[in-house]
């Protein structure tokens, strides 16, 4: 059984966190003047999220797939849920091929430490939405 019932839930929760990230000052400062645009392809359920960090925008679905990107990140939706809770060791997941990152990897990997400040925000959103079932112990 997967964490999310459909792509709309992925867009609401995972897409919502990318929207938060693109508006968070530390991410804005770290990506200012760059061209980091990440296409996040998720499975189970299938979903696509295009995150334009310098443009501070997030699009989903077919529009995301059609967009230009500099990095592509592929993982299951369950792993994305674990990641935003701080429960996925990203480097280990890449080594185990649970997460695949193509393109300008070094630029994207520099943002990893910044995500830690958003983990509690994600967990709080899940609790507020009554989605304790998505919380990972």
For the chain of 137 residues, list the mean pLDDT of each consecutive stretch of 10: 90 98 95 94 98 97 95 97 96 95 87 95 97 94
Task: Report pTM.
Answer: 0.94
Quick one: pLDDT at residue 105?
81
The pair of structure tokens assigned to 26 is 């530390």
Beta-carbon-side half-sphere exposure of residue 102 (alpha carbons within 13 Å): 7
Question: Which domains occur in the chain, in start order?
Answer: 7-123 (3.30.1050.10)
Check residue 1 and give its pLDDT: 60
Residue 36's φ and ψ, nearest 5 degrees, are -75, 105
Task: Tell me the sheet residues that pair with 85.
Answer: none
DSSP-derived secondary structure for 84-113: TTT-S-HHHHHHTTSSEEEESHHHHHTTHH
Tokens (6 digits) for 7: 């792509």
Provide the pLDDT for residue 8.
97
């Amino acid at each position: 059984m997967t964490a999310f019932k459909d792509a709309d839930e992925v867009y609401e929760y995972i897409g919502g966190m990318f929207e938060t990230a693109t508006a968070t000052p530390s991410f804005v400062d770290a990506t200012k003047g760059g061209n980091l645009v990440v296409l996040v392809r998720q499975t189970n359920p299938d979903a696509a999220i295009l995150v334009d960090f310098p443009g501070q925008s997030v699009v989903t679905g077919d529009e995301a797939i059609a967009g230009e990107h500099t990095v592509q990140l592929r993982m299951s939706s369950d792993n994305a849920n674990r990641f935003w809770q701080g429960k996925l060791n990203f480097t280990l997941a890449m080594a185990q091929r649970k997460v695949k990152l193509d393109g300008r990897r070094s630029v994207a990997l520099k943002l990893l430490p910044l995500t830690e400040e958003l983990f509690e925000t994600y967990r709080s959103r899940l609790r507020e939405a009554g989605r304790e079932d998505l919380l990972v112990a």
